[in-house]
Every structure is written in structure tokens, then in C-alpha cells.
Amino acid sequence: MALASVSASPRLDAEVLLAQVLGTSRVAILADADRPLEPPQWEAYNELIARRAALEPIAYITGHKEFYGFDFVVDPRVLVPRPETELIIELALDWWPRKLLQANTIADIGTGSGCLAVTLALLLPQAHVYAVDLSRDALEVARLNAQRHDVASRVTFLHGNGCQPLPELVALLVSNPPYTVLAEVDQNVRRWEPQLALDGGAERGLAIPIHILRQAPSYLLPGGQLLMEIGAWQGVAALEVTQRAFPQARVRLHQDLAGLDRVVAVET
């Protein structure tokens, strides 16, 4: 099988790609497994298999990725949403009903596909979300996702660096910034996904997260919450930097399902 040496789930990948060609679901093709393909369908299928064999992420080939149960449009202009990022949604949903603030403003710094901004807008109907990105290309994808999920009227898209474009202080600040050391990132991820979304710069990838963490106190309302994704190796350093940026606040780390440090949280 062409995908066996490149994918951990070759059969699943092949089924997803076949469903894409036939414009149907995986379940439907499994139920109708004996139906022969027409030659043009074969050709289209083999093209997709060749792209996957060249290690292109399946989400770029299909143009979709599920995040927190919602379907997001993705393409090489944005990072493919990762399941571990869902932890930020869980923590935000846990905190929101307990918040003592009147304000319902949220900022998502480095929104990419908009998976955090749009999911929060969907699940918190009173919220107004500012979705910020340095990449105008990414903002276009995020805008599309907000429109598809009917939350565009409650998401404001802002182009710029870190928290700077925010027009007001917010109750909740979330971010999945670039935090990797590019040279250490899986070759295939590096080859296909946007470098701007991955490369955290110096300090073992923590330079950009630190930049945002240092800005954050000026943009967060007293009583607000900050949730930022980090790399598993950055827990101790991120905790220290964050505590310094918010000397009065309660700062803690949260682990993902694999038990790895994944989110630094601040309750001001």
C-alpha cells in the first residue's frame, strides 16, 4: 500500500481520501465497499494518494479539520488544528461561568484558522471575540470559518503583532502562539505547515510566547484569565516568565491528555 510507509493510519487515510473523491462519507464507502470506481474517479483518487504519499497533511488535501467537534476549513496558509489545543477550550469553558467580571470580551492572539476564536464564539453566545494574527492570509481563513459557523458578527479580525491591535482590555485572553524550535519540528510538519505559525524563535522557542506574555498584563482586565499553549519542554520556563509578568496572580500549568505540560494559565 502506497501509504503504509508514510502514515501511521494508512487505511484510514485511504478511506478518507476515497470519500473525498466520491463526495461522500467514510461510513458510506464502507457500506458500499464493492462498488467499482469509474476511471476518472480512479485517477482523482490516485492523485490524492500521491499527495499523501508525499506527506502532505490529510487536512490540507481534504481542506477540512475537525476541532472540538466543529468542522474547520484549512489550507497551507494556516496550521492544522491539533487535538491538544482543545485543552484551552475546556479550561475556558470551565472558567467562564465562574468569572466575576461583567465584560464578555475575548482575544485570541495568533488565531490561525480561527479554531479557538470561532469555537469560543460558538460555545459562549454572549462573547465578543477579537481574533488577531500577523498573517493576513491566516485571517482570511479564520474569517471564512467564522462565516461558515455563523459567528462572524461576534468576531472582529485584527491584523498585527501580538496583543497590540486590541482596541480594549479583555476578560479572557487565549493564544496558541508559535512555540517550537523549528529545527526540532518533524520534517513533514516543517515542510508543509506555515513557519510563521510554528517558529517560536530564541529561548528554545519561547521568545514569541514571552513577547505575548509580557504584553498581556496591559490588555487583560483585572479578574481576567489568560490561557496559552506551550511546548511540553517549556513548562518551568513559561511558569517563571508568566509569574514575573503577573506578580500578583495565580499562575499554573495544565497537562494535556498525554500528561504533558501544555497550557500556562493565569487568573488575575
Contact footprint for ligand GLN (CB under 6 A) = 82, 176-180, 185, 189, 198, 229
* 18 versus 265: smaller Cβ distance to ligand GLN: 265
- State the nearest-atom distance from the C-beta of 98 to ligand GLN, in Å: 27
Alpha-carbon torsion, ordered 19, 25, 26, 31, to 10 deg? -110
Nearer Cβ to ligand GLN, position 48 or 228? 228
Nearer to ligand GLN, 14 or 78 (CB): 78
What the block records as the C-alpha cell of 113 is: 484558522
Alpha-carbon gap, residue 114 to 192, rounded angstroms:
19
CB of 88: closest distance to ligand GLN in angstroms?
11
CB of 57 to ligand GLN, least distance (A): 11
Task: For residue 185, report the phi and psi dihedrals to the nearest 5 degrees.
Answer: -75, 145
Residue 128 vs 162, nearer CB to ligand GLN: 162
Q: How far is the CB of 120 from ligand GLN (least distance, A)?
A: 17
CB-wise, 19 or 198, nearer to ligand GLN? 198
Place of cell 517558529: 199
Rounded to the nearest whole angstrom, what is the least distance from the CB of residue 211 to ligand GLN in the complex?
Answer: 14
Pick from 198, 193, 201, 176: which is nearest to 77 by CA? 193
